[in-house]
Amino acid sequence: AVGARMVHVSALGADLKSASIYARTKAEGEQKVRAAVPGAVILRPSIVFGPEDGFFNLFASIARISPVLPLVGGGKTCFQPVYVGDVAKAALKGVEGTAAPGIYELGGPEVKTFEELLRMILDITGRKRLLVPLPFPVAYLQALVMQYLPSPLLTPDQVTLLKSPNIVSHAAIQTGHTLEGLGIAPTALTSILPSYLGASAGRGSSRRHPRCEGHLAGPPRDGRRTAPTIAV
C-alpha cells in the first residue's frame, strides 16, 4: 500500500553484476522492492547465527560424522556473523519508522575467516577434526557433482560466493548504515554460540581480521530463496 513502511531482508553482497546467482537475485529483489516502495528499509545481514541457524549448526552436524572438514579456498574467506536478535531489532526499527529509508549492512562485532569459524565450532563442541585446504578449482569440480544430491553440502554458486568476503563495507560504516548506526550494539558470537552448540569456548577479540581489511562485503549463502519482507 502507498505509504506503507516496508522492511526487506536481503544479504550482504547483493549485486546485479555479481558472478553469483544468489547475489544477483538478491539485488533484483532489492530493486523491485525499491521500485514499489521507494522509502523501504533494506537490511543486508552477513551470515546469521542463533539457535537453529543454517551455518554453525550445519558444520557442527558435519563434524559429528566426518573426520575431515574442507577449507574451501584455503578457508581465508572473511565473515562478520550477526546475531538473529540484532537483525530483528533492526527490522523493528524499520517497521516503527525510526530507521531512515535506505540500505543497511548488518554485521557482528568481530570479523573471522572461514577457518577460524570452523575451529571455533570444533572448540565449542569439543571435537578434533582435520581441516583440509581445498583450492577453489577443486572445490568447484566437487560442487558440480554434489549439486545433484538431495541436500548438497556444496554447490557451484556457493563456491563462487566464497571467493568474496562477507563483511560490512567501509562505505556503510562511514554513512552509519550499520547496526551501530541504528543504535544497536552488535552481539558477540562467543556470547551466544556456546549456548546452543555446546560447552563454552574462548572469546575472540579482534574487531577485524587483518586479511579482511579493505575488502567489501560478499553474500553469505547460496540459493534463490526470496528474502522475507515485513510491511506494516
| Beta carbons within 8 Å of 179's beta carbon, 6+ residues apart | 82, 86, 90, 104, 106, 107, 185, 186
Would the pLDDT of 126 be above 50?
A: yes
Would the pLDDT of 229 be above 50?
A: no
Would the pLDDT of 64 be above 70?
A: yes
CB 34 within 8 A of CB 42: yes
The predicted pLDDT at position 210 comes to: 55
pLDDT, mean over the chain:
87
Q: How does residue 4 score in pLDDT terms, banded at 50, 70 and 90?
A: low
The residue written with cell numbers 544477483 in the block is: 24
Cell of 11: 544479504
Amino acid of residue 228: P
Note the pTM of the prediction, 2 decimals: 0.84
Q: What is the mean pLDDT of residues 79-95?
A: 97
Neighbours of 173 (CB within 10 A): 14
Q: Give me the residues paired with residue 102 across strands.
A: 41
The string of pLDDT tens digits covering residues 167-224 is 999 999 999 999 999 999 999 999 999 999 974 333 333 344 555 654 444 444 334 3
The predicted pLDDT at position 153 comes to: 85
Helix axes 114-125, 189-197, angle to 10 degrees: 50
**Percentage of the chain exceeding pLDDT 90:** 80
**Percentage of the chain exceeding pLDDT 70:** 84
The string of pLDDT tens digits covering residues 27-52 is 999 999 999 999 999 999 999 999 99
Degrees, nearest 5: CA angle 38-218-63: 130
The predicted pLDDT at position 151 comes to: 83
CB 170 within 8 A of CB 80: no
Would the pLDDT of 161 be above 60?
A: yes
The predicted pLDDT at position 217 comes to: 41
| Beta carbons within 8 Å of 19's beta carbon, 6+ residues apart | 160
